Structure 1
Amino acid sequence: MRLSTATCLAAVHSRDARFDGWFVTAVRSTRIYCRPSCPATPPRADRIDFLPSAAAAVARGYRACKRCLPDATPGSPEWNVRDDLVARAMRLIADGVVEREGVEGLSRRLGYSSRQIERVVSEQLGAGPLAMARSQRAQTARILIETTAMPFADIAFAAGFGSIRSMNDVVRTTFALTPTQLRARRSPLRATDPPAWHRIDLRLPMRLPFWPDNVFGHLVATGVPGVEEWRDGAYRRTLRLTYGAGIVALRPAPDHVGTTVWLRDVRDLQTAVSRCRFLLDLDADPQAVDAALARDPRLAPMIAAAPGRRVPHTTDPVEMALRIVLGQQISTRAARTHAARLTAALGETISDPGGRLTGLFPTAEVVAGAPDDVLAMPTTRKRTLRSLARALADEEIDVSPGADWTRTRTRLLDVPGIGPWSVESIAMRALGDPDAFPATDLAVRRILERIGPPAGNWRPWRAYVTQHLWATLDHETNHLPTMEASA
């Protein structure tokens, strides 16, 4: 979305937090950039440059404000809605693809030349993929410096820097503080932490309002025992990451989500944080969504009763796609049982430092070769699950952050046994398409029979409409858990 100068100025003067993440305010006289809601006195309009990203500000020599920490704002909701090349690139950059595979790897995944990717991203974001990745690298280093006792050399390596000197230079340029000065803010490590795990505590910001009930309720009610649990007021789950396993605990709070991450390898921190933000839909713009949907008088009372409702996504799109097919035409309880059996038989076992989680859901390649006695289900669904698993393992079907949503839907429908309900459920939960709409879902159909057919102005937010429709039912997926769930 292109914002006018007048809109940006109005957002800055009113300190409107809704625009945090949409742009940054770069002050030419001080060479500092801020988020729109910065509490500092706004500068004169003729001294401000409005830039599309923190990376663009850093590339122009601006330093992050120490009061509002603009590098720690929620991500732009624009990438959640769009399915064009830049949006797909940004989702992959956030997932750490540039750090792991470079710009060449990013271009291979998107099917365009690296020169074209560089051009289109720079045109819209004011900085290229490497600069965007460097900005994320600096934020990762800052988190590790402030929340762990790791030596700076190890942090430089974990954050993706080639040397401690390059990390020092980037940190000093980005934050106007040295790593030693940032380290002074470090929280002490807990003596009980097992040495095999790196524990990191942080807060995930989001745009308000935030209605946590259906997100956490759905994740817990459908959670796979051993992979997910609710413990001490937090949703916990295992993570399959690039360099090793991880575990995350997410606890809802009024203005953030308290987060504890346990990692085998701290190089996975950026990816883990990005996937947790996607899981809880924290980069959404709830006021824009609610305002658009509230124009329908049938939805207005639902939205007024639960403003800021989010769509529960996933930390592992492949896992979610397999679980949706695994749960076709059976109850939630039965789907959990099947997934737990599959994990116990074929998943990777882990030790949990803070709960009773036991393993990672098996990979698509492993599921494709699963023996019959593990897949205790009808023959047709067994065939469908194996066909999908093989297509995912062979990358014939792409459910990654950089997937083309239209193409993925088409490929899914080509799999025998996968119909519209599964396709739209995968689009909503695994791909994060905000307009995914499981119109054939039994509960959705019954509610629509009562309130009337979908309206054209529900688009592109029909995934959020689905959450509001489901919330009219008295089901455990709509309620924040109040007691500890079994492992």
Structure 2
Amino acid sequence: MHEDVERCLRAVRAKDARFDGWFFAAVVTTGIYCRPSCPVTPPKAANLRFFPTAAAAQGAGFRACRRCRPDASPGSPEWNERADLVARAMRLIADGVVDREGVPGLAARLGYSVRQVQRQVRAELGAGPLAIARAQRAQMARLLVETTPVPLSDVAFAAGFASVRTFNDTVREVFAITPSELRQRARKRQQPAAPGTLALRLPFRQPLDADHLFGRLAAEALPGVEEWRDGTYRRTLRLPHGYGIVALRPLPEHIDCRLTLVDLRDLATAIARCRRLLDLDADPVAVDEQLRTDPVLKPLVDKNPGRRVPRTVSAEEFVVRMVLGPKAVEYGTELPASDGLTHLFPEVATLEALDIPLIRALAEREVDLGVGSDWDRARAQLKALGLDTRTVEAIAMRALGDPDAFSANDPAVRRAARRLGIPAVTEHSAAWRPWRAYAAQHLT
């Protein structure tokens, strides 16, 4: 996208928010980079440079705009639409793998050498994995500075910085302001939140069919782990350094997110998993435009634009729920009373004694369903365990996040096809590619 200069210029001149996160626009004369929808008057084309990531803009010496806050843009939809090495790497980086395991750990999860991963990521994104993770740390630091009373020295380590000095230097470099000044400015606009709770805004691209998305989550809520109450979806989260409780409420311009964490180092991972659960980095305009090309589907899309695929915070959790249903809670970790949420969902390692082939394969890592997994390989592994196509595609859609996952044998899809007069679903669905998972949301 960033290499298509004319298209980028049109987006910047139109202040088109649909392209926020797709690329970043940097102004040579000011040394600032912005999101495409920044409200300031666009500069001359000769003074603009375009970058695929915030890390690339920072690496070129630009600092983030204080007005449009480009670091808070929705993520690029590309990383959830593709299954190649770079997209898988970006999903893993967002989940905090580089901060926890370094680039060698990232490469090991991807099945490539460190050199191959660094070369391919840098070639496409203009920055290596470490720089991208650093940009993410800066964003997490800003959130902690602005939304919590945590001492700045503790913020530094919670955000993943090795020292307070590195934290101070990075914040000044990226935002052109010291952490203390950043906190002082934020106090004027802080949202009220309960003690120990982070009040955040999760941005998304318009439109968003929140009724369908949250309706599905509410209908499938697992008592003790999840609940729907007073227009808010709440659940517990098992995280790398501890656990968290999140409350998500849809608002017209963003998702209101109230997050309580045992360990603040889990902030980036918790946000990434909430965004993945709600499919917030999707590009609904591109999806709906493609689905509207089918005259049969067009009225459904026109009636409910912006449908998302309700996903999951953990692929392994989704699979265990398919196998055990509500009984899964019995094996979870009990928590102190938390206003209706009583358990963390169990880890697959604790379920291995049940001797269920699929769960055992997950526990023994015979099947890789992680955020950086290869979708085609995961499908092959699941089929080798004897799972039918319908089940495999349900896992690919909801757990892996493949936007084209689809099964014509799904009973709800077949019923909708008969109602709409579609005689051969498999053949007809070719018109919906590569967004068949989203088409299924209109049919089920």
Above 0.5 in TM-score?
Answer: yes
- Could you tell me which of 303, 306, 320 is aligned with 1:305? 303
**What is residue 143 of structure 2 aligned with on the other side?**
143
Compute the displacement of 1:2 (Å).
Answer: 6.0
1:161-193 per-residue CA deviation (whole Å, 9 max, x = no partner) reads 011111000001101111011111143876x63
Q: Please, which of 275, 278, 295 is the counterpart of residue 277 of structure 1?
A: 275
Partner of 1:432: 401
* 1:342 shift after superposition: 2.8
Contact 2:393 2:405 in 1 (8 A): yes
Query: SS of 2:403's equivalent?
Result: coil
Measured after TM superposition, the shift of residue 388 of structure 1 is 1.0
In the alignment, the residues of structure 2 paired with residue 102 and residue 21 of structure 1 have an alpha-carbon distance, to the nearest angstrom, of: 25
Q: Given the alignment of the two structures, is residue 211 of structure 1 paired with residue 209 of structure 2, yes or no?
A: yes
State the match for 1:400 in structure 2. 370
Confirm or deny: 8 A CA contact 2:221 2:228 kept in the other structure.
Answer: no
Match of 1:441 in 2: 410
168-177 vs 449-458, which deviates more?
A: 449-458
Aligned to 1:369: 353
Distance apart, 1:325 and its partner CA: 3.1
Which residue does 1:316 correspond to in 2? 314
- Following the alignment from structure 1 to structure 2, what is the Cα–Cα distance between the partners of residues 438 and 143? 40
Match of 1:245 among 224, 243, 258: 243
> Offset of 1:3 from its aligned partner?
4.7
SS in 2 for 1:49: strand
Specify whether residues 179 and 278 from structure 1 end up closer, same or farther in structure 2 by C-alpha distance, changes over 3 A only: same
Q: 1:128-171, CA deviations, whole angstroms, 9 ceiling, x for partnerless residues?
A: 00000000000000000001111111111111101111100000
Map of 2:24 onto structure 1: 24
SS of equivalent residue, structure 1 residue 351: strand
Shift in Å, 1:83: 0.7
Secondary structure of the residue aligned to 1:350 is strand
Structure 1: gaps (5+ residues): 327-334, 371-382, 471-487
The superposition leaves residues 208-249 of structure 1 with CA deviations (integer Å, 9 ceiling, x where unpaired) of 011111211111101110000012211001101000011110
2:442 maps to a residue whose letter is H
Is the 2:25–2:34 Cα contact (8 Å) retained in structure 1? yes
Farther off after superposition, 455-464 or 41-50: 455-464
Identify which of structures 1 and 2 has the higher relative contact order when contacts are C-alpha pairs closer than 8 Å and 6+ apart: 1
Counterpart Cα distance in 2 of 1:121 and 1:317: 25
The answer as to 2:437 corresponding to 1:463 is: yes
SS of 2:10's equivalent? Answer: helix
Q: Is the aligned partner of 1:100 residue 2:100? A: yes
Find the partner of 2:291 among 293, 305, 326: 293
Quote the RMSD (CA, aligned, Å). Answer: 1.3
> Does structure 1 residue 351 correspond to structure 2 residue 336?
yes
SS of corresponding position for 1:251: strand
Separation in 2, partners of 1:52, 1:311: 25
Match for residue 73 of structure 2? Answer: 73
Aligned partner of 1:47 in structure 2 is 47
SS of 1:134's equivalent?
A: helix
Q: How many angstroms does 1:439 deviate by?
A: 1.7
2: CA distance between counterparts of 1:264 and 1:308?
A: 34
Q: Is the 8 A contact 2:197 2:259 kept in 1?
A: yes
**How far apart are 1:449 and its partner, in Å?**
2.8
Q: Distance in 2 between matches of 1:465 and 1:64?
A: 37
Aligned equivalent of 1:480: none
Q: Is the contact between residue 324 and residue 425 of structure 1 (CA under 8 Å) also seen in structure 2?
A: no
Q: What number of residue pairs does the alignment pair up? A: 436
Question: How far did residue 352 of structure 1 move?
Answer: 4.9
1:33 partnered with 2:33? yes
What amino acid sits opposite 2:359 in the alignment? A
TM-score by length of 2: 0.96
Percent identity of equivalent pairs: 56
1:6 to partner: Cα distance: 0.5
Q: Distance in 1 between matches of 2:410 and 2:351?
A: 26
Tell me the SS of whatever aligns to 2:336. coil
**Partner amino acid for 1:443?**
A
Alignment match, 1:342: 328
Question: Which one of 320, 323, 326 corresponds to residue 325 of structure 1?
Answer: 323
8 Å CA contact 2:315–2:399 kept in 1: the answer is: yes
| Cα distance in 2, alignment partners of residues 3 and 322 from structure 1 | 43
Partners of 2:211 and 2:385 lie apart in 1 by 34
Does the residue aligned with 1:369 lie in a helix, a strand or coil?
Answer: helix
Runs of 4+ in structure 1 off by over 6 angstroms are: none
Match of 1:161 in 2: 161
Pair 1:260-2:245 in alignment:
no
Q: What secondary structure does 1:248 align onto?
A: strand
Deviations 1:366-393 (A, max 9, x none): 12213xxxxxxxxxxxx6xx11111111
Q: How many angstroms does 1:94 deviate by?
A: 0.6
Residue matched to 2:57: 57
Kept after mapping to 2: 8 A contact 1:324/1:426: no
1:221 equivalent in alignment to 2:219: yes
1:78, 1:178 → 2: CA distance? 33
Following superposition, the deviation at residue 421 of structure 1 comes to 1.5
Asked if 2 retains the 8 angstrom alpha-carbon contact of 1:412 and 1:423, the reply is yes
Q: Say whether the 8 Å CA contact 1:149–1:189 is kept in structure 2.
A: no
TM-score scaled by length of structure 1: 0.88
Residues 32 and 2 (structure 1), Cα distance of their counterparts in 2 relative to 1, 3 Å cut = closer
Task: For 2:430 and 2:216, locate their aligned partners in 1 and report how far apart those are by CA, in whole Å.
Answer: 27
Cα shift readout 1:15-50 (whole Å, capped 9, x = no counterpart): 111111010001111000000010000000001111
CA offset at residue 438 of structure 1? 2.5
**Counterpart Cα distance in 2 of 1:169 and 1:143:** 17
